[in-house]
Chains A and B, each alone.
Chain A
Amino acid sequence: MKNSYQFQHRHILGIEQLSTTDIIHILDIALSFKEISTRSIKKVPTLKGKTIINFFFEPSTRTRLSFEIAAKRMSADTFNIAASTSSAQKGETLIDTARNLEAMNPDIIILRHGSSGAPALLTRYVTAGIINAGDGTHEHPSQALLDMMTVRDHKKSLEGLKIAIIGDIAHSRVAHSNILGFTKMGADVHVAGPATFMPPHVDTLGATVAASVKEAVTDADVVMALRIQKERQDDPLIPSLREYAQFYGINKSILKHAKPDVLVMHPGPINRGVEMNPDVADGEASVILEQVTNGVAIRMALLYLVMGTQGAEV
């Protein structure tokens, strides 16, 4: 069976479209690529001569850099475009911009966009492979994959693990992709936070809604805190950061309810003292920086696999 498997996805739009076999395959490939980043010459010729465009409509430091490093370590030529949504308001549509990029024959376009579904839209207008680097409040598949990789490094398998995700689930594409991913891999995902942070029918994604942070964290193998988006002002979801930290922040005392070998995760950037205390973020259970390291390996794997489905020799 394993020999007949072939990665089929021309685009990576979300975890939703990936099978368990796809996910395991991506994690395996990423693991094999991880070593490249530890060499003194951190470069392999695998994607030499390939063109990859980082097309970012939203500010991003780590995801953009992580994709760029991944591409460069595979010897691809990378280009960054930081389009602001205001340029779209001046008249150029996403589709027009993408068609212009397409005319320059890129092999892969990595898209970050504030509108959910924007990567899916692009696939209808361009022939390059599209990798979703975060779309609105929809999905952030590479983040979920690097999270799964990090957990698997420590726990060997994801099957049967209890994963607690704490915070603004409703507006988090990271949470969305992680709920789908960990659930597909047989883990048990519990989410907690104030009801203002819960999307309607979150159970249909596969998550169990815990009544409290304590309930979610109890006996958890993984505790993941999400970033509080301070910039979200139009809708009063919480009364204050102070109160949030008090009732929903991850600190040492709440972590005592988790398993002794619990992993603490955060997709970054952290609001220290809000969703996570510094002593936890920097504590021995924290794998936050491993997540960042694995991010490069996951993105190398995604570029490699997606390139392999573009009808070109890799």
Chain B
Amino acid sequence: MNDMIILQNGRLLDPTTGTDTTGDLWIKGGEIVPAEAQIPENSRIEDVSGKWIVPGLIDMHVHLREPGEEYKETVESGTRAAAAGGFTAVACMPNTKPVNDEASVTRFILDKARNASARVYPAVAISRGSQGTELAEYGELKEAGAVAVTDDGLPVLDSQLMRRAMEYAGSHDLLVISHSEEMALSKNGAMNEGVVSTRLGLRGIPAAAEAIMVYREIALAELTGQRTHIAHVSTLAATDLIRQAKARGVKITAETTPHYFTLTEEAVGDYDTNAKMNPPLRTEADRQAIRVGLQDGTYDCISTDHAPHSVLEKECEFDRAMNGIIGLETSLPLSLALVREGVIEPLRLVELMSSAPARILKVAGGTLVEGSVADVTVIDTEKEFIFTKESILSKGKNSPFIDWKLQGKAVLTIMGGRVTHDELT
């Protein structure tokens, strides 16, 4: 390993300081350091002219599937996919087997993550077993390394329990992440309720199923005054609710995903299970609203909801197929398309994919300021590639973007000074 990594002549983008300038970045001993008068021996020097140097990307919504579903993904395979996608950190959802609702499970995951290719921040269950009846032990979980609480995959149906979760999580300075879904409306639904569900004869999930629960979370966040994060928002209606709540000062943050701003329900096509996820792909009006929300600050970050599944769980009848798609290796190019299409500026993209998630989770990274951890990603925004099934590092191959021609790629990912992905040599 090199003592020093020096990235020269790159476009330095740091939303925390508003920096957008051409320059060098020096990395030593796991930290970003000031330039020295002499280049030390045993340095790796890379000319990254024309490429972006950004704080390492952070994905605050990933399913690593370990423990219990290692056939879908492991901490090792998931973080390798993350590094290849330019991510230096991920928050992993607790719907593992067993559910991450006890410190022993949290410690197990962190133990697996010790030599992984990205930092792993466990989100733990809101309720024991994510059953929605009793609170998990947040204090002990936080000490074990938890950064947030969520029953992701399922909503917390009991409003009183959700209120108490927000209050109690606040006492332990843990973020509450809401999977917002009114199950009575979404029950047995396989895709968005609309023109396509009628054509295919599939049970629909109305946009109202999301909006109703998002509004409840806003009302509870307002009641409790606790910071609450809305996961994987897919609809115009929820976007409007979040925008209004923020305008009146509610401590709400929100994420959306590349598939919601890239695809619509039409992607289901002829029962393509790789276009099945929850919440489902929506209409063009929803997609446009999400893009406006990314532009105007309604959304704080872009997450992937990376949800690997095995072939068995996707090559079957549509209504029996599992929900979710992988996203770590396509998030950056799909998000860069927003910059090319003039929806957002480069600095805003870095904010959405790095600085904001670091701030929301209260974790290291998200900045290039000297003295910070050396979590850094170098992006070649011009690089074009075909996203082939064979190239996927995640164990899950369930992506609707397979064989898409994509533009923009992480060519060097550095986590704590260690190179975790390298396409420069």
Identify the A interface with B (CB < 8 A).
16, 93-95, 113, 115-118, 120-121, 135-139, 173, 176, 199-202, 204-205, 234-235
Contact A200 B201 (CB under 8 A): no
Stretch from B119-127, B190-198, B400-408 at the A interface = B190-198
Q: Among A113, A137, A173, A202, point to the contact of B317 (Cβ < 8 A).
A: A113
B200 touches A117 (CB 8 A): yes
Mostly, the B contact residues are loop
Given A95-B315, A136-B319, A200-B193, A116-B198 contact (CB < 8 Å): no
Closest residue of chain A to B188 (Cβ to Cβ) is A234
Distance (whole angstroms) from the CB of B318 to the closest CB of chain A: 5
Q: Which of B194, B200, B316 contacts A116 (CB 8 A)?
A: B200
Residue of A nearest to B197 (CB): A200
Task: Give the distance to chain B from A162, nearest Cβ to Cβ, in Å.
Answer: 22
Q: A200 contacts B199, CB within 8 Å?
A: no
Please tell me if the beta carbons of B200 and A93 are within 8 angstroms of each other in the complex. Answer: no
CA distance in complex: A115, B317 (Å) = 6
Task: Tell whether, in the assembled complex, residue A93 and residue B312 are in contact, meaning their CB atoms are under 8 Å apart.
Answer: yes
Interfacial chain B residues near A136, Cβ < 8 Å = 201-202, 319
CB of B182 to closest CB in A, whole Å: 14
Interface centre among A93, A138, A200 (most CB of B within 10 A): A200
- Least CB separation from A202: chain B residue: B198
A-side contacts of B114, CB under 8 Å: none
List chain A residues, Cβ under 8 A from B320: 115
A/B pair count, beta carbons within 8 Å: 66
Cα distance A116–B273 when bound, in Å?
Answer: 12
Q: Are A200 and B204 in contact (CB under 8 A)?
A: yes
Which residues of the other chain, A, contact B312 by a CB distance below 8 angstroms?
93
Contact residues in A for B319 (Cβ distance below 8 Å): 115-117, 136
Are A94 and B316 in contact, CB atoms less than 8 angstroms apart?
yes
Residues of chain B contacted by A234 (CB below 8 angstroms): 187-188
Residues of A within 8 A of B36 (CB): none
Most buried by A among B188, B200, B204: B200
Q: In the assembled complex, how far is the CB of residue A114 from the closest CB belonging to chain B, in whole angstroms? A: 8
Residues of A close to B198: CB separation below 8 A:
199-202, 204-205
Residues of A within 8 A of B108 (CB): none
B residues touching A (Cβ–Cβ < 8 Å)? 187-188, 193-195, 197-204, 270-271, 312, 315-320
Alpha-carbon distance A127/B362, docked complex (angstroms): 56
A200-B193, A200-B195, A201-B195 as given contacts; A117 in contact with B317, CB under 8 Å: yes
Minimal Cβ-Cβ distance residue in B for A140: B201
B284 CB to nearest A CB, Å? 14
Q: Smallest CB–CB gap between A196 and chain B, Å? A: 14
Chain B residue with the shortest CB-CB distance to A122: B317
Least Cβ–Cβ distance between B206 and chain A, in angstroms? 8
**10 tightest A-B CB contacts, nearest first:** A138-B201, A115-B317, A117-B271, A116-B201, A137-B201, A199-B198, A201-B195, A117-B318, A115-B319, A204-B195
Q: Give the most central of B193, B194, B197, B271: most A CB within 10 Å.
A: B271
Contact across chains for A120 and B271 when beta carbons are under 8 A apart:
yes
Q: List chain A residues, Cβ under 8 A from B315.
A: 95
Q: List 10 A-B contacts (CB under 8 A).
A: A113-B317, A115-B319, A116-B319, A117-B318, A120-B271, A136-B201, A136-B202, A200-B204, A204-B195, A235-B187
In the bound assembly, the distance between CA atoms of A115 and B271 in angstroms comes to 11
Q: Which residue in chain B gives the minimum CB-CB distance to A170? A: B198
Q: Specify which chain B residues have a CB less than 8 angstroms from the CB of A205 in the assembled complex.
A: 198-199
Report the minimum CB–CB distance from A301 to chain B (whole Å): 24
B315 nearest in chain A by CB position: A95
Q: What is the CA–CA distance of A93 and B314 in the complex, to the nearest angstrom?
A: 12
How many whole Å from B195's CB to the nearest CB in chain A?
A: 5
Partner of A204 from the list B199, B271, B316, B318 (CB cut-off 8 Å) is B199
CB of A134 to closest CB in B, whole Å: 10
A258–B81 Cα distance when bound, in Å, is: 65
CB distance from B311 to the nearest CB of A (A): 10
Kindly list 15 other residue pairs between chains A and B, CB separation below 8 angstroms, not including A93-B312, A117-B319, A138-B202: A113-B317, A115-B320, A116-B202, A117-B317, A120-B270, A121-B317, A137-B201, A137-B202, A138-B200, A173-B201, A176-B201, A200-B193, A200-B195, A201-B194, A205-B198
Nearest opposing residue in chain A for B319, CB measure = A115
Q: Which of A93, A139, A202 is within 8 Å of B201, CB to CB?
A: A139
The complex places the Cα of A138 from the Cα of B319 at a distance, in Å, of: 12
B202 touches A200 (CB 8 A): no
Complex alpha-carbon distance, A95 and B317, angstroms: 9
* A180 to B188 CA separation, bound complex (whole angstroms): 25
Interface centre among A94, A121, A173 (most CB of B within 10 A): A121
User: Which residues in A have their C-beta under 8 angstroms from that of B187?
Assistant: 234-235
